[in-house]
Structure 1
């Protein structure tokens, strides 16, 4: 079975003067890399909502980033990177096949996008209420 890579990112915002300070310390720009990623998801954004990111990187192939080990503390995000296409397919398709959207959903997406967006927002709000003991839980 192909093993994925583990990526741990720590994001930071460089302050004003960071580049100048790095140069003062002897830092130089060794090289610049430019690439283009194309991200894929369902029309309902089911991958993004599950914190999964499927992309095809220009000149590199496919990659699926999904949450890594739970309980990792600190100012970073840990993702498992899956790059073997069979493993990506297995990660995305073996647990459950996505069902085709209803005719009404397709109609709203195509001809009433504002109403569709509102439906997504209401649905998202309803999901947040589940399990909280709120009286509106009966809506689900």
Structure 2
């Protein structure tokens, strides 16, 4: 992202007639983009619990999303997105603080409670630290 730009992301749940209504207003599908993210964490989910999200995006490489500067009022959260492997490694070596649940956790709780429950249960398993989650149903295809 270029210096000086701010990315604004707003989430909403479309109603059953949203697509039809958009078409009535003259909207058309310009293009569809699909990608796959694989998220990594420790067995204890220490990254997720500190609101850090380490992922490998298919075809794009590694990304770490972590909390940005605090103190900006309003209903939003600022994240830093690191894509350089040395920066990611350096950030992961700094102790992290507990934060409010991230949007992926809230999504799982609301819309995929079975996967959220399995994620919680995985903390009890005996996988090695830093192991990739073996349940492929936690890999998400995102279409935008």
- TM-score, normalisation: structure 1: 0.60
Cα pair distance change 1:25/1:16, threshold 3 Å:
same
Could you tell me which runs of 5 or more consecutive residues in structure 1 were left unpaired when the two chains were aligned.
97-107, 111-140
What RMSD, in angstroms, separates the aligned Cα atoms of the two structures? Answer: 2.4
Alignment of 1:1-140 (within 5 A): 7-93=7-93, 95=94, 109-110=125-126
Could you tell me which runs of 5 or more consecutive residues in structure 2 were left unpaired when the two chains were aligned.
96-123, 127-144
Higher RCO structure, 1 or 2 (CA under 8 Å, sep 6+): 2
Shift of 1:69: 2.1
3-state DSSP of counterpart to 1:9: coil
More helix by share: 1
Highest Rg: 1 or 2?
1
- The number of equivalent residue pairs is 96
Superposed CA offset, 1:63-89 (max 9, x none): 000112213333333211000111111
